[in-house]
Structure 1
């Protein structure tokens, strides 16, 4: 993804990419709860979380607006 190439040396980008929404050593972490609630596969859930992180970086660093069309995760597609 182009964003990753542009931001690979940015400290905020690196911190966000290494941040996990899952609490370590729990039986039912956030990603599994999300997958279950949305009826997604774990692979798709990981991609959705990655897209949210990418969108967050775009909003914070470039002050862009987050558009519904960009994130159509609820419909089952990660763009």
Structure 2
């Protein structure tokens, strides 16, 4: 469809509405997985982690290892 900045939201909303919910859910999850956000636990966004890293006098390598450990799924 012909799209302008004025009708963009409405057109996109209508197109998304046509996608079956289970397919839309899969698309959403796959898109989120592709993002692989490296700043998921960044001290810039989470001041508590920044304070923890400062209190423990952690270097960059130690910070990265801790963040990767925190991001992994817990295996029961």
Q: How high is the TM-score relative to the length of structure 2?
A: 0.37
Query: Which has more radius of gyration?
Result: 2
Query: Relative contact order, CA 8 A, sep 6+: which one is greater?
Result: 1
Q: How high is the TM-score relative to the length of structure 1?
A: 0.36
